[in-house]
Amino acid sequence: MADSIVCVAPVGDRCGEGAVWCAYEASLYWTDITRFLVHRYDEALRAVKSWLFEEPVVALCLTDKPGCLLVALGSELIYWWPETDLRQSHGFSLPGAPRVRLNDGRADPHGRFWVGSMKNNVRPGGELYIPESGPAQGILYRIAQDGEATLWRETIGISNTLCWSPSGDTFYFGDTLSNTIYAFDYDGVSGAISRERPFFRGFERGAPDGSAMDREGCLWNCRFGGGCLVRIAPSGGVVGVIEMPVSNPTTCTFGGPDLKTLYITSAMGGPSERLSGSLFALSVNVPGLPENRYGGLAS
């Protein structure tokens, strides 16, 4: 099913996340949430460049304009052009921030951006902390191409895993704290989700973090605290488990010229985990799906 894991960038992220493959640059972008960084790994040069932001950077998304990314910060969305480092407000700000913050996000096949939130666990200086207990405060939003935000789900612990099936008619969304990935029917025309049901729950190794979808309709899910990735069939059954050299894999996406390289980010683990916080790569037999783009920019 796959070859061995390779460490391609030992960057020491405290909380690597948000991996997105940019085909026209042959590069991978990802974030370090608590150091407020965005990294770019140039696949040909095997070199990393990093940019600093003013608050946690939690998710990245290609847009319909080459060279421009949609960046989800803890409290808002912005447009960003890495070549010039130009940054512009998107217009969406998260209600309730900084009590809550944004987390995982991804564009759907029709150019809308979906992003979830969670109770904030990052202090202004970047330190992680455990917030006081209370009701789950995460919300799932859909951001249309014109910037209109629609609330689709509430009472989420930690929003993670936003993926669509190859046919585009099934949406997958996870709540890390409930150890559950849900499936929904997805209407591409209206952008509506419906018929929520548990898809993958109670897996004993770690908790669900970010995921990627391959062309066979299998979901590759990073298991935070579980030291592995699990490949899940459309039926919800486990196809295989990929062992990681670190305990906290965080998110993944397919890249490379044939989309047969699975890139995996990670967060810091115990003191004995020398490679924790690194970017890893895994050669696989089944290619992934191309990255979706947010279509919110005027032409």
| 85 given a catalytic annotation | no
| Cα gap 265→212, rounded to integer Å | 12
Among residues 104, 108, 209, 214, the one annotated as catalytic is 209
Catalytic sites, residue numbers = 209
